[in-house]
Structure 1
Amino acid sequence: MDYTPRYTQPFTLAEARLLDVETITEEIARLQNSLRLLGETQEMLREHVASIQPGEAVDGEITKAIEENETVIGSQSERISILKMALSDKGISAGSHYDFVPPPARVVTDAAARAAAPDDENDGVDL
């Protein structure tokens, strides 16, 4: 199956198929985080525009930012779709399991925990 994207993308579906599963899922997670942040920004910008009093001019830069963000949101959403198609082509269901990849848990060893804990005996620095 071939896919023609609506937006300019940094890779094609054929190129995405060459990536390993871990790279694909990490990129999906990165893009989803970016979309979440863009969505929050859009909400703030729209609230600002809505708060402008009648008769006041809307700052052209804010309008431009909203429009540019919409384009980026569309492009990144499309990129996620391409990556999910690549997973599907690898025989992996791109369902909810691959919608978000949490960061790996941080392992704290006993030595690291002791090093991070304050030394109550003296206020010096442990070396």
Structure 2
Amino acid sequence: MEYVPRYSQPFTLQEARGLDVPVITEEISRLQNSIAHLQRTQDELKDALSITPGDLELLEAFEENEVVIGSQNERISMLRIALAEKGVPMSAHYDLRVQLGTTAMETSNAAAPPGTIRPNGNPRTEGPPTTSIDGEDGENEGIYL
């Protein structure tokens, strides 16, 4: 049985099945980020519409965003089906957790003691400081081989 999307999509489920797992997971992340931004915009549009309910331009933007959000959610569903068919277990790793306008990572980092989170949001690991070939300490972002 073939998946029939409700919205027009840039790819079919069959094409999604042909993508590599890293490509699929990256696209899911990108779409989730896009939806998060659209949701914030929708909240702002709702506020603006409550002040000026007859503004047709705001209403049109709100309705267009609803369609885009629906389409992107459907695209994520298609990509998740492709992942599941590849044997990749679905987990919270592929879900965007939004808590009062912050992502789960931002929320968990907020409770971390000062100095335990790197600028890129990753936790600092215990152990000796790393030194690169050029003698720089391991505090800078990047990969040193």
Q: Normalising by structure 2, what TM-score?
A: 0.65
RMSD across aligned C-alpha pairs, in angstroms?
2.5
What is the aligned partner in structure 1 of residue 37 from structure 2? 37
What is the aligned partner in structure 1 of residue 99 from structure 2? none
What is the aligned partner in structure 2 of residue 83 from structure 1? 79
Given candidates 95, 99, 110, the residue that maps to 2:95 is 99
Q: How far is 1:59 from its partner?
A: 1.8
What is the aligned partner in structure 2 of residue 122 from structure 1? none
Q: What are the superposed Cα offsets for residues 44-69 of structure 1, whole Å, 9 maximum, x if unpaired?
A: 000011123xxxx6221111000000
Q: What are the superposed Cα offsets for residues 85-125 of structure 1, whole Å, 9 maximum, x if unpaired?
A: 0000101122312225x9896xx9527979xxxxxxxxxxx
Letter in structure 1 aligned against 2:90:
A
Give secondary structure in 1 for the equivalent of 2:49: helix
Counting matched residue pairs gives: 107
What is the aligned partner in structure 2 of residue 23 from structure 1? 23
- C-alpha separation between the residues in 1 aligned to 2:56 and 2:13? 36
Structure 1 residues not aligned, in runs of 5+: 115-127
Structure 2 residues not aligned, in runs of 5+: 97-104, 106-119, 123-130, 141-145
What is the aligned partner in structure 2 of residue 121 from structure 1? none
Q: How far is 1:35 from its partner?
A: 0.2
Identity within the alignment, %: 50
Letter in structure 1 aligned against 2:77:
S
Write out the 4+ residue segments of structure 1 that deviate beyond 6 Å after TM superposition: 102-105, 111-114
What is the aligned partner in structure 1 of residue 46 from structure 2? 46
What is the aligned partner in structure 2 of residue 118 from structure 1? none
Equivalences for residues 6-17 of structure 1 within 5 A = 6-17=6-17
Give secondary structure in 1 for the equivalent of 2:36: helix
Q: What are the superposed Cα offsets for residues 61-84 of structure 1, whole Å, 9 maximum, x if unpaired?
A: 111000000000000000000000
